[in-house]
Amino acid sequence: MLHEEIELADRRYLIRASLKKPNKGSKVGVVLAHGAIVNRQSLVRTSSCLGDYLCNELCAYIIAPDFNGETIHNDSVSFEDLCKIYNITSKFLVESYNLDLVMGFGHSLGCFIIAESLDRNPYLDSLVNYGGPIYELSEGRRGGFIEYLINYL
């Protein structure tokens, strides 16, 4: 497996991402979404991590964009921006490696990013959420909690 740190340029963002490539060709990809308090490296460290496991076991391309740490935003940061970054990254993965199946995995705030992105992302086939703060996002508190996490960063 090959691990690379890449940059994806868009008119509004310069997205930093970690990419893992399987040893043999594949038509499968997974786009990881990290939480608000941690960064993408929590999911794709250079060894012994979820990204390595998925790359090896699924023979899949793995990409994890950074949402608000190393990624440069040309405007202020909002929850909508995080969803756009996720969608740009998904598109890059599919188009660069001609993938047939792309899954999303979200942790904590990443759960809400991929859930929101699913409706507007033609590249995602399925998603898995792990450890999202569901209680805090109950009716009437969702927007405030997400903005709190973004501002906390």
- For the chain, the structural domain boundaries read 2-152
Query: What's the pLDDT at 138?
Result: 46
22 vs 62: CA distance, rounded Å: 8
Dump pLDDT digits (tens) for 98-147: 999 999 988 888 888 888 887 788 898 888 877 765 554 445 445 555 56
Query: What's the pLDDT at 152?
Result: 54
Domain 2-152 = CATH 3.40.366.30? no
**Helix or strand holding residue 93 (H, E):** helix 79-97
